[in-house]
Amino acid sequence: MNTKIAKHMPKQSFGDVVDKMTILTRKVFFGEEDAIEELYYLIGCLNKMDKGSGDLIAAIIRLAQMNFEIWNLENEIRKGGEDKFTRAQIGGRAIEIRNYNRKRVKYKNHINKLTDLGFTEFKVKHRSQ
**3-state secondary structure (DSSP) of residue 84:** helix
Contact 54, 45 (CB under 8 A): yes
Question: What is the dihedral sign for C-alpha 61, 63, 66, 71?
Answer: negative
Torsion region of 86: left, alpha or beta (phi above 0 gives left; psi -120 to 50 gives alpha): beta
- Low-confidence stretches of the chain (pLDDT < 50) are 1
**First CA to last CA across the chain, in angstroms?**
57
Confidence (pLDDT) at 78: 87
Confidence (pLDDT) at 1: 43
Q: For the chain, what are the domain ranges? A: 14-115
